[in-house]
Amino acid sequence: MEENIGYSMLRNPRYNKGTAFTYEEREKYGIKGLLPDKIETIETQILRVEEQLENFEKPINKYIYLMQLLETNETLFFKTIISEPAKFLPLVYTPTVGQACQELGHILRRPRGLFISIDQKDHIKEILRNWPVKDVRFTVVTDGGRILGLGDLGINGIGISIGKLILYSSCGGVPPEYTLPIVLDAGTNNEEFLDDPLYPGLKRKRIRGKEFDDFVAAFVEAIQEVFPKICIQWEDFTGVDAIRILNSYRDNICTFNDDIQGTAAIATAGFISISRLMEKSFKDQRFLFMGAGAAAFGIADMLLKKFIRDGLSEEEALNQIWMFDVNGLLVKSRTDLAEHQLQFAHDSDPSDNFAETILKIKPTAIVGVSTVGGAFNSQVIENMSAVNERPIIFPYSNPTSHSECTAEQAYIWSKGKAIFASGSPFPPVLYDGKTFTPGQGNNVFIFPALGMAIFATEAKRVTDDMLLTAAEAVAEQVTQEDFEKGLIYPNVNDILKVSMKVAERVAELIFESGLAGVEKPNNICDFIKSKMYVPSYDIITCNNKP
């Protein structure tokens, strides 16, 4: 017996309006009596969502509720998220998504996205064609190798891919039907998961080396054939794998790595903003990194490009960037450096004391990408304050427990002098009668807007110039009023407005670079607006049976 079309619509999250179906729609699709008689607005529905969320104390339970809403009513979900981004983004992405990934096997309701195991290497095209949408433009792909600062979470890393794509749509305007979260399951070295009967992934040690690279290559070839306009965002691969994969494909397909390039762009945006705040040239900044992995390399490379764009030679620019890892300062006499680290090794004496290195190098900014919680201790902050009138303190490691220091520590130990931004959110701090508002270097200001520009222009490649342009566009939107509040990034509640301007700037560059797959429009701003997803019941088309 054929199912009632209206009944099907109520169970299809893309078409479902719930109690907002009009009387005419209820009559047309046979929904009369399947819903309460009252017609509600989406605003009323959001009030109900907010009230139900208040019944949960733990953020993880709020996350579970919101994910179920996404599977029930997509429009209401996205409308809720963008109604107050500062409130809802931390629930659907960092920091809550970290716990969601750790517990995925225990909180799993309805699987979302595609799960491709290394055992299915010869059947990837078949798996991709099982996805119901035939024109996918964006995928966020992870192997779960290094989720946030939580380590190897295996197949549970799919939560990160899901969360990132939620931000593409809610914060950048990329239509959700064009997005696809994917996890590549090559096993896990997480002993807790291997012993957990509810872990849903392969119960074997992680595959490495050539076999893993062949798996990734087979995936790239397959997805390019099945979805020719796809842009691949690599997410949370281990550092060495992340760099190698990015370098293998960045010049041949439309791809980027948000951990490397997105983090670099938002950090650079912050430093550009600070230079304006302090009325100094960006070229006067000097950086010392705690950590020298993929994230540090990405930020350093972006800073290098910014220095050069602003007029320094490469040699002069490199002299402004220093790195410190678990074995000490990166100097040329060391024999343990990876290839990508050599460029940032200096002809200097070795040092294994970060705080003392600050007094020697005199950086204007320290950047934490070590995932070592508390690495910026009181001596580090005091030394930064000794060599700077306004020390720039950027503990960028996620989640909060892995942050190199807290906002409160930075402000207290610097006696209120620090300019602070972190990877995870921190609450305002009251010190010496003044309230300090910590900045958060959230990639959400970069990759959704970049994604929107790529989606609209059908860009053939993603270049570092695009990401640097995005960083400059974000920094330009920080106002003097923001500065006076201690902010070095725009207000996250303005994310759609910010993303619109960033996407416009990046799209202009894409057209100028000859990388667009469509003709350049007369008005790029109007062009971007016409492509943006707006969560509204008014634009849902229910003419075709879902």
Token pair of 368, please? 């934490």
> Does residue 420 contact residue 436 with C-beta atoms inside 8 Å?
yes
Q: Does an H or E element contain 502, and which? A: helix 495-512
Q: Give the residue among 359, 361, 355 at the shortest CA–CA distance from 344.
A: 361
Active site residue 164: yes
Active site residue 93: yes
Query: What is the C-alpha to C-alpha distance for residues 361 and 322, in angstroms, rounded to an integer?
Result: 8
> Does residue 169 contact residue 175 with C-beta atoms inside 8 Å?
yes
> Does residue 463 contact residue 456 with C-beta atoms inside 8 Å?
no
CA distances in angstroms from 455 to 114, 173, 254, 259, 397, listed in the order given: 21, 10, 11, 20, 29
Q: Give the residue among 106, 86, 94, 200 at the shortest CA–CA distance from 147.
A: 94
Query: What is the C-alpha to C-alpha distance for residues 546 and 49, in angstroms, rounded to an integer?
Result: 25
Query: Other C-beta atoms within 10 Å of 399: how many?
Result: 20
SS3 of residue 1 by DSSP: coil
SS3 of residue 144 by DSSP: coil
CB burial of residue 90 (10 Å; 0-12, 13-18, 19+): buried
Residue 290 φ/ψ, nearest 5 degrees: -100, 105
DSSP annotation of 4:
P
CA distances in angstroms from 474 to 3, 175, 240, 417, 469, listed in the order given: 49, 22, 29, 24, 9
What does the angle CA 358 – CA 260 – CA 107 come to, to the nearest 5 degrees? 110
Tell me which of 17, 121, 164, 305 is the catalytic residue. 164
The side-by-side arrangement of strands in the sheet containing 328-329 is 328-329, 321-325, 287-290, 365-368, 392-395, 419-422, 439-440
DSSP annotation of 20:
G
CA distances in angstroms from 45 to 10, 52, 171, listed in the order given: 15, 11, 21
Cα 184 vs. chain centroid, distance in angstroms?
18
Query: What is the C-alpha to C-alpha distance for residues 511 and 532, in angstroms, rounded to an integer?
Result: 18
Residues across the chain:
546
Q: Inter-axis angle of helices 59-70 and 74-83, to 10 degrees?
A: 140
Q: Maximum distance among all alpha carbons in the chain?
A: 80
Tell me which of 15, 29, 63, 93 is the catalytic residue. 93
Query: Could you give the residue numbers annotated as active site?
Result: 93, 164
